[in-house]
Chains A and B, each alone.
Chain A
Amino acid sequence: MDFSFSQEQEELRREARGFLETNADAPLAALRELGWLGVSVPEEHGGGGLSFVEEAILFEEAGRALYAGPFLTTAVVLPALPEVDEHAWSVELDGFVPSLDSVDRVLTERMQVVAAEGETLPSTDETRPLGRLRAAEDGDLLDGSFEPVRLRLLAGLALEAVGVAQRALELGVEYVSQREQFGKKIGTYQAVSHPLADTYVETELARSLAYWAAWSVAEEDERAPLAVASAKAQAAETAVAACERAIQVHGGIGFTWEHPLHRYYKRAQWLDAFGGHAASHRRVVAAALLD
């Protein structure tokens, strides 16, 4: 048993973090140039020949940086194509398409490939608005089932959520280590520090589930659906709670538009809602245990 990343994988994480810290709004093409698209696709199909574990690292870092582009959806579709292509992709899930206005193709749950035409709806998370496709036109059908795409997508959402939770925790820790009231750093007060300790514990737990899900998807393990459901449920709730606690310990400033926390909070809520709220995934787990 070895539950750690290799040196190469850690290097990839450092590279991703470094790039995204200053380029959170880089176009998808810039990520393609870095070789981040099709990472897990075999080389003979135009991919990077690595595994979903490497992709998982990128999703987590994209979440941490609140990367704005349609990276996740493109990355999870590419392995379903016969050959890696140059399009920006999204997926339609439960009738909604994330980032419809910034992609050119959409894969539906029926494995139809359609043009990204339709209406973008006003959304709280402005960097990742949901859209609806124009009345169904018949597109080409891809071979294979949507299930592997769905598993990659949900695992990816869980990994992004871990990145969001981690960043919210860091922002909270930074702030309470500097802000003083009653003559002391407010992080000294246990009413302030203990919620952050809870966020730390929950984030590490969610991270473990998300890595378990990533490994299970990469290995096509038979427990992958259970691992993915568990990770999506736990990580999204963890991200939401992490942001809420971070906002609380920031006091008034955390409630302003000017502070970045609200964007993390809205992304966390987006991650919880898209692909099903936590309770819907726990229903899957309960059925596996009890029925």
Chain B
Amino acid sequence: MDLRDTAEEAAFRAELRAWIEANLGDEIRHGRFEEAGREWSRKLFEAGYAGLTWPKEYGGAGAPYSHQAIFLEEMARAEAPSHLGVIGLGMAGPTIIAHGTEAQKERHLRKILSTEEIWCQGFSEPDAGSDLSAVRTSARLEGDRFVVNGQKVWSSFAHIADWCILVTRSDPESQRHAGLTYLLVDMHAPGVDVRPLRQITGEAEFNEIFFGDVEVPVENVVGEIGGGWAVAMTTLLHERGTLGFALTAALESQLQKLVALARERGATEVQRDAIAREWIGLQAVRYTNYRALTTLMKTGIPGPEGSGAKLWWSEANQRATKLALELLGPEATLLHGNGYWQHQQLRSRGNTIEAGTSEILRNIIAERVLGLPRSR
């Protein structure tokens, strides 16, 4: 047990920190996300920081997971914008690497790394949220192409995306996990209609996607026709697997701002106690991630320790942002400055819903970690 960086990790951290210092200016940090994010993502790619843990043969850095953890920590510390290609880098790319054909790898992976093409995820539907096996978007095989019809929802980046990882039902007679097919869909194809969903914060971060007779060549199937469930699980494993460090890093930066606010505005004993509680919780989840990371690096499989990270983080972020509003006192609902805390607090209500609701995550822990009898 040694909680310090190894010499090699320390060197990577120092080099990264110097690179951020030289490359992250205010125009990127405070710019509009879509333009600034594109610029930032391109710089990260050129410096070799995109796809750190991807294998070298697919254009990645082939670095250990510890580098990805350090990368996320340092990005949060510098308050850098997030990478515009998170769905491609974190979900579509790893899924294509695991299940894709050589032609798919050739066609997509490099453009994901360079953010030349942006990806979105078409999983959830109006009637298939937590229960993904209820998807109804249909894919009808006609010769050498599928014809896709249906509706997806809660799709981040769809309004700027070039490609979509889409879970469809290719066998209309099938039920639940059988008969699903995983497709790579060109978002510029005729019949794809993206409509932004205005959310509780007033902005439109998510979209609905409507598919009307959209033609998808059969070579865009990932895995087997009818074998989409297993492929989708790979995607979700990657969504949840690398999430812990990103979330901790985001919370770290949130708590830095909260502490600054408390110092500026003053805090009661009760509020000081609450701030200390959140700081302690942050250390707890950080070191829990380190434990899970060590297990992952030693065995190649993420340990169960980390399975609660997203569940815990989402509730902690809700408490922390609410605490900030309390520190603002009667000004809590005023949108002065850029309305940062008001926006963050409202946005935090989505945290316990997106990427697995807290109820689903508790089920997963109860059934898969504690081994309790299944509730469904």
Partners in one complex: yes
Contact A190 B359 (CB under 8 A): yes
Contact B284 A208 (CB under 8 A): yes
Q: Which of A1, A188, A279 touches B373 (beta carbons < 8 Å)?
A: A188
* A287–chain B nearest beta-carbon distance, Å: 8
What residues of A have a CB within 8 angstroms of the CB of B273 in the complex? 279, 282-283, 286
Indicate if A145 sits at the interface (CB-CB under 8 A). Answer: no
How far is A187 from B375 in the complex, measured between Cα atoms in Å?
Answer: 8
Contact A234 B1 (CB under 8 A): no
Contact A188 B375 (CB under 8 A): yes
Indicate if A289 sits at the interface (CB-CB under 8 A). Answer: yes
How far is A3 from B272 in the complex, measured between Cα atoms in Å?
Answer: 30
Contact B365 A290 (CB under 8 A): no
Q: A1-B4, A3-B3, A193-B363 are in contact. Are A289 and B287 (CB under 8 A)?
A: no
Across the interface, name the chain A residue whose C-beta is closest to B3: A215
Contact A53 B1 (CB under 8 A): yes
Contact A286 B366 (CB under 8 A): no
Contact A1 B6 (CB under 8 A): yes
Q: Which of B267, B295, B312 touches A201 (beta carbons < 8 Å)?
A: B312
How far is A3 from B350 in the complex, measured between Cα atoms in Å?
Answer: 32
Q: Which of A188, A234, A290 touches B280 (beta carbons < 8 Å)?
A: A234
Indicate if B354 sits at the interface (CB-CB under 8 A). Answer: no
- 0/1 string, A1-34, CB within 8 A of B gives 1: 1111110010000000000000000000000000
Indicate if B311 sits at the interface (CB-CB under 8 A). Answer: yes
- B247-272 contacts to A (CB < 8 Å): 259, 262-263, 267, 272
Indicate if A244 sits at the interface (CB-CB under 8 A). Answer: no
Chain B interface category by residue count: 35 or more
Contact A290 B366 (CB under 8 A): no
Indicate if B294 sits at the interface (CB-CB under 8 A). Answer: yes
Across the interface, name the chain A residue whose C-beta is closest to B361: A197
Indicate if B281 sits at the interface (CB-CB under 8 A). Answer: yes
Contact B1 A187 (CB under 8 A): no
Contact B290 A1 (CB under 8 A): yes
Contact A190 B275 (CB under 8 A): no
Interface centre among A197, A233, A234, A290 (most CB of B within 10 A): A197
Q: Which of A6, A197, A283 touches B370 (beta carbons < 8 Å)?
A: A197
Indicate if A211 sits at the interface (CB-CB under 8 A). Answer: yes
Q: A176-B372, A285-B279, A285-B280 are in contact. Are A204 and B305 (CB under 8 A)?
A: yes
- 0/1 string, A21-52, CB within 8 A of B gives 1: 00000000000000000000000000000000
Indicate if B288 sits at the interface (CB-CB under 8 A). Answer: yes
Indicate if A200 sits at the interface (CB-CB under 8 A). Answer: yes
Across the interface, name the chain A residue whose C-beta is closest to B4: A1
Indicate if B240 sits at the interface (CB-CB under 8 A). Answer: no
What residues of B have a CB within 8 angstroms of the CB of A173 in the complex? 370-372
Q: A193-B366, A290-B263 are in contact. Are A206 and B284 (CB under 8 A)?
A: yes
Q: How many pairs of residues, A versus B, come closer than 8 Å at their CB atoms?
A: 154
What residues of A have a CB within 8 angstroms of the CB of B298 in the complex? 4
Contact A205 B288 (CB under 8 A): yes
Contact A205 B285 (CB under 8 A): yes
How far is A5 from B372 in the complex, measured between Cα atoms in Å?
Answer: 28
Indicate if B2 sits at the interface (CB-CB under 8 A). Answer: yes
How far is A215 from B2 in the complex, measured between Cα atoms in Å?
Answer: 8
Q: Which of B283, B308, B375 touches A230 (beta carbons < 8 Å)?
A: B283
Contact B308 A205 (CB under 8 A): yes
How far is A169 from B361 in the complex, measured between Cα atoms in Å?
Answer: 18
Contact A3 B284 (CB under 8 A): no
* A57–chain B nearest beta-carbon distance, Å: 11
Indicate if B362 sits at the interface (CB-CB under 8 A). Answer: yes
Across the interface, name the chain A residue whose C-beta is closest to B287: A208
Indicate if A212 sits at the interface (CB-CB under 8 A). Answer: yes
* A118–chain B nearest beta-carbon distance, Å: 34
Q: A173-B372, A194-B362, A233-B280 are in contact. Are A3 and B293 (CB under 8 A)?
A: yes
How far is A173 from B369 in the complex, measured between Cα atoms in Å?
Answer: 11
Indicate if A189 sits at the interface (CB-CB under 8 A). Answer: yes
Indicate if B56 sits at the interface (CB-CB under 8 A). Answer: no
Contact A190 B277 (CB under 8 A): no
* B302–chain A nearest beta-carbon distance, Å: 13
Indicate if B224 sits at the interface (CB-CB under 8 A). Answer: no
Indicate if A154 sits at the interface (CB-CB under 8 A). Answer: no
Interface centre among A198, A215, A286 (most CB of B within 10 A): A286
What residues of B have a CB within 8 angstroms of the CB of A242 in the complex? none
Interface centre among B5, B275, B283, B371 (most CB of A within 10 A): B283
* B352–chain A nearest beta-carbon distance, Å: 13
Across the interface, name the chain B residue whose C-beta is closest to A51: B1
Those 8 A-B pairs whose CB atoms lie nearest each other, nearest first: A201-B308, A208-B287, A205-B284, A282-B276, A193-B366, A285-B276, A187-B372, A286-B272
Give 24 pairs: A residue, B residue, CB < 8 Å, sorted on A.
A1-B293, A3-B294, A5-B1, A9-B1, A173-B371, A173-B372, A189-B375, A194-B362, A194-B363, A197-B363, A197-B366, A197-B370, A204-B305, A205-B288, A209-B280, A211-B291, A215-B1, A230-B280, A279-B273, A282-B276, A283-B272, A286-B273, A286-B275, A289-B275
Chain A interface residues toward B at CB < 8 A: 1-6, 9, 53, 169, 173, 176-177, 184-185, 187-190, 193-194, 196-198, 200-201, 204-209, 211-212, 215, 227, 230, 233-234, 279, 282-283, 285-286, 289-290
